C-alpha cells in the first residue's frame, strides 16, 4: 500500500517535472510541488512560486511564507497536518499573476495531487487560488471566511498572506479564517482541539 502510494507520488512528480502544459517551465529554476506532508487533512493552496520558492523548490518559503508559517504554528499545526502547494507550480516571470490559460494547464497536475493528498479541508489563499478551484474570479471580501462544502470537502477562502504584508491589520482576518479551519479539523475528528498558543 505505502509502496503503491510512493510510486504514484513519484509518477505525479515526474508528471509535474515533465509538464509541457504552458511555457512557464522554460524560465524556472525549480518546479515547486509541495511542502508539508504528502497525505494530510489540510491542503493550503496559494497562487504561484515567487523568487525564493523558485530558488528553493518549495512553496511559501519567502516573506509571505514566513507569515503563513507563523499563522499555522500559532494554531499548533505540525507538518504532518498540512500539505502546502500552489495553483501553478512554476514561477511566472516578474512574479506576475498566472494567466487563466496557465491556471487551466496546471489544474491537471493539481487534480492528481489532490487525489493523492486526499485532504478534507482546503484553505485557498487569495483570489488566484479561488479562481483555480472554482473557475471564476471572486470578490474576496464576499467569499472569505466562509466554508463551501463540496463533494464532502470543506473549502475556505482567505486573503493571500502578501495582503497582510502590505498592511499588518490584514493579518487579523487571515488569523480568524485559519482558526475556523483549525476548528473544522477538530469537528471532523482529524485534529485534537486547539488549546491556545501556551497550552
Ligand atoms: N505566494 C504564493 O502564492 N505562493 C508561494 O509559494 C509563495 C508566495
What are the CA-CA distances from residue 28 to residues 10, 50, 96, 117, 145 (Å)?
21, 10, 14, 25, 33
What are the CA-CA distances from residue 187 to residues 97, 103, 120 (Å)?
35, 32, 11
Q: What is the pLDDT of residues 58-102, one digit of tens each?
A: 999 999 999 999 999 999 999 999 999 999 999 999 999 999 999
Give the closest residue (by CA) to ligand 1 atom 7.
60
Mutate to test the pocket of ligand 1, among 36, 46, 161 (most ligand atoms within 8 A of CB): 46
Give the Å distance between the CA of 195 and the centre of ligand 1: 29
Distance CA 42, CA 63 (A): 22
Q: What is the pLDDT of residues 7-37, one digit of tens each?
A: 999 999 999 999 999 999 999 999 999 999 9
Q: Give, as one character, the DSSP assignment of residue 197.
A: T
| CATH architecture, range 2-187 | 3-Layer(aba) Sandwich (3.40)
**Ligand 1 pocket residue status of 157, Cβ below 6 Å:** no
- Could you tell me the pTM of the whole model? 0.96
**Ligand 1 pocket residue status of 86, Cβ below 6 Å:** yes
- Cell numbers for 121, please give them: 479541508
Give the Å distance between the CA of 32 and the centre of ligand 1: 10
Domain boundaries, the chain: 2-187
Q: Is 156 helix (H, G, I), strand (E, B) or coil?
A: strand
Q: Is 6 helix (H, G, I), strand (E, B) or coil?
A: helix
Amino acid at each position: 500500500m505505502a509502496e503503491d502510494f510512493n510510486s504514484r507520488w513519484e509518477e505525479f512528480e515526474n508528471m509535474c517535472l515533465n509538464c509541457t502544459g504552458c511555457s512557464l517551465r522554460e524560465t524556472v529554476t525549480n518546479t515547486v510541488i509541495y511542502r508539508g506532508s504528502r497525505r494530510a487533512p489540510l491542503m493550503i493552496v496559494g497562487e504561484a512560486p515567487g523568487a525564493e520558492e523558485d530558488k528553493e523548490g518549495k512553496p511559501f518559503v519567502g516573506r509571505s511564507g514566513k507569515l503563513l508559517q507563523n499563522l499555522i504554528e500559532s494554531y499548533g499545526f505540525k507538518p504532518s497536518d498540512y500539505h502546502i502547494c500552489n495553483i501553478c507550480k512554476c514561477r511566472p516571470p516578474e512574479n506576475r499573476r498566472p494567466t487563466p490559460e496557465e491556471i487551466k494547464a496546471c489544474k491537471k497536475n493539481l487534480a492528481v495531487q489532490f487525489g493523492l493528498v486526499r485532504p478534507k479541508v482546503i484553505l485557498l489563499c487569495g483570489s488566484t487560488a479561488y479562481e483555480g478551484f472554482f473557475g471564476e474570479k471572486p470578490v474576496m471580501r464576499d467569499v472569505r471566511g466562509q466554508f463551501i462544502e463540496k463533494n464532502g470537502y470543506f473549502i475556505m477562502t482567505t486573503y493571500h498572506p502578501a495582503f497582510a504584508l502590505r498592511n499588518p491589520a490584514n493579518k487579523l482576518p487571515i488569523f480568524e479564517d485559519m482558526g475556523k479551519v483549525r476548528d473544522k479539523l477538530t469537528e471532523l475528528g482529524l485534529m485534537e482541539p486547539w488549546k491556545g498558543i501556551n497550552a
